[in-house]
Structure 1
Amino acid sequence: MADTEDDVVLYEVVEQHIGLVTLNRPAKRNAVNGAVARTLDAIVKQTEADPAIWAVVITSAEGPTFCAGADLAEVAAGRADELSTPDGGFAGFVEARRVKPWIAAVKGSALGGGLEISLACDLRVVSTETIVGLPEVKRGLIAGAGGIYRLPRQIPRAIALEMIATGEPIGAARAEALGLVNRVVPADQVVETALGLAKAICANAPIAVRESLQVARLAAEVPEDVSIAATRQAFDRLVVSEDFAEGPRAFVEKRAPRWTGR
């Protein structure tokens, strides 16, 4: 398969308000090269700007690996700087500013950069065969695309430090027990399950979801007074929206709300 800007990452709208992104380099274990980074960066910006998209699922082409991280052939060729973008960081994704919820649908292993991409998402669905880990130290590297600071925020500190220092992975069942993933399902149900979560999100008022997530994402990193102030600011933005009036009105009229995202 040729690595063109058009086919290394696929994007489609699969359900009302839901986008589906597919990493599409199966012959390279969906590893990130420059084309992947540029394309994913553009897709993030596209979905953020599209008022019709309220949630996004990211998955990968068929194979045993969700994403192998950096394409080491590109690194060896001196093109490591192309694997990141100014706005998105590694893969054009892990440092991207996003307000809309993203769900990782991981059908294979997620090691190194693959885990870091999934850690940058809000929710994670994995297959029963999935293993996750940060093996960078085994190769004299660090998990510099967010792994070494996001993993300790997701699971108990001692376990995160063990995974980072030993480079050893854990299986899907333990990842679920530690709260690292939201669902563990057979591989052929991973995308369907992730889309189900996206549908559940999209049944709610999109502005309320986005404002809530922006506060919640920072909750473990900032003092409580900062969270209180951020919550008040979020409420001030929400109260002037059409959906803020629609929710109570629909409740009183005993009907399903008709969200507009405005």
Structure 2
Amino acid sequence: MRIDLHTHSTASDGTDTPEELVGEAAAAGLDVVALTDHDTVSGHEAAVRALPRGLTLVTGAELSCRLDGVSLHMLAYLFDPAEPEFARERELVRDDRVPRARSMVGKLRDLGVDVTWERVQEIAGDGAVGRPHIATAMVEAGVVASVSDAFTEEWIANDGRAYAEKHELDPFDALRLIKAAGGVAVFAHPLAAKRGQCVPESAIADLAAAGLDGIEADHMDHEPATRARLHVLAGDLGLLATGSSDYHGSRKSCVLGEYTTDPGVYEEIVSRASGAAPVTGSGEDAGAGRATGSVTG
């Protein structure tokens, strides 16, 4: 059983539509895939409608958080998207992405980079605009060779010359909201130092004490020694250890199923969730799978 619990579509900063994503997941030999777009659930309904026979979809979102000045991401799985307080907070974070992106474009232009807000909007389309869309515009302008090359201190990495902050949740508030909506919380790529500053392990322990369910140990941005350390840490703290690709389509080099989650861990995630259930495709349209709670929003 091959399970990938972290992917993105055009609903945020991936390049595959939700429909294309589930098709690619099936073609890659996955049995289970989670759609975890940034701060939005807008791709869930389309993904459910397009589910190939036998593929199971886990609905989720990747939440933007900040702790003591350090950005971090929280994966929320199988929550009720209609829970009012959580829905309002996701909307606040998502809506703040636009002024933040505009500010970053302005900073880049001040640095002599020929990118425009109009082009960034075109690249983002209907998705929640984010830094990868700006990075794609920078690639088109010939400023950097790849999207990843834009994520440096010289450009748009955390605290980079053209970086701008956005509204982000306190991770302890995020945990409370996820749990109140019946969801399961996993700390995404917690020690991905190449992305910028990481929170200390003591903070992970505090989050575990506050109800964190797991940590994403196996991830392309973790070196082998880091992955091994996170598995040990998960055991010490009583946390689930997941693995996933963080797939973004052609925008990143990772491939679906590059890292996967143990089936026993997946079953534990499902058993802890009460806000929604996985949906398994039957080859028919829309409601062919089983699900609890709405998949719109």
Same fold (TM over 0.5): no
Q: Given the two structures, how large is their TM-score scaled by the length of structure 1? A: 0.31
Q: Name whichever structure is richer in helix by fraction.
A: 1
TM-score (norm 2): 0.28
Structure with bigger gyration radius: 1
Structure with greater contact order relative to length (CA < 8 Å, sep ≥ 6)? 2
